[in-house]
Amino acid sequence: MKKRISESTIHRLSLYYRALSLLEKENVVTVSSKELAKREKLTPAQVRKDLSFFGSFGTRGLGYQVAELRSRMSHILGINRDWRVALIGIGNIGSALVSYKEFARQGFHIVKLFDNDQRKIGSNHKGIVVSDIKDLEKELKEDNIEIVIVAVPATVAQYIVDDVVAAGVKAILNFAPINLRVPPEVCLRNENMSMELEYLSFAVVNNHTPKKVI
């Protein structure tokens, strides 16, 4: 399996995983691509094609075993395990994310907090003591952090990310509204909430309706 998987496919895997989790809770045993597609507003062919990149998980004439497919999806997405996540920047957004239960529910555990504000360093948020940003690289290494969430002002984000990369972290979720440079082996995702509002304002002004909802 050396074919490049598209970003859209990966996002849809998350959707499938979520739908399957719900189905399992509803005690549904098998599900067809048709039903799965309906639940996530996709086409059955799309569902089957996405899954086919990773193997043949279904049974002709019957569909997919909900529990089994969910487990497969979690393996493919890498969420069949726990992740140690560090959060940098304990401002508005940062504080909210520390308390955001959805992350832990999916196995993403925020276990380190960093800030540069002396008043925040040493303080306790949800049982985690805030570390000094000065020790970022050292502590990320020591604690085997694999994913970092950056929630600092745009002006300092690049410096922070340089340190994060130096610490060997390969996955970064960035909330600062700025285009960050990272080496090609690092996966960077941007969460730019203003851009989403701008999308909406574009839609309203131009009477535009998106084909697919992300």
Partner DNA sequence: TAATTCTTGTGAAGCATTTCACATGAGCGG
Partner DNA sequence: CCGCTCATGTGAAATGCTTCACAAGAATTA
What are the Cα distances from residue 208, in Å, to 179, 192, 195, 198?
Answer: 27, 20, 16, 13
CA-wise closest residue to 126 among 107, 152, 101: 101
Q: Looking up tokens 């131009």, which residue turns up? A: 206
Options 5-13, 26-34, 43-51, 133-141: segment touching a second copy (CB under 8 A): 5-13
Residue 64's binding partner among DNA, a second copy, none (Cβ under 5 to 8 angstroms by kind) is: DNA
Each residue 37-76 as x (binds a second copy by CB under 8 A) or -, in order, gives --xxx----------------------------------x
Q: What is the DSSP letter of 133?
A: G
Residues at the contact surface with DNA, assessed by CB under 7 A: 4, 6-9, 32-34, 42-46, 48-49, 51-52, 56-64
**Among 43, 52, 92, 123, which residue sits at the site for a second copy (rule: CB under 8 A)?**
92
- What's the helix, strand, coil split of the chain in %, to 5? 45, 20, 35
| CA geometry: angle 5, 151, 10, nearest 5 deg | 15
Applying CB under 8 A, the residues found at the interface with a second copy are 4-5, 7, 10-11, 13-15, 17-19, 39-41, 76-79, 83, 85, 92-93, 95-97, 99-100, 102-103, 105-106, 108, 146-147, 170-173, 177, 179, 184-206, 208-214
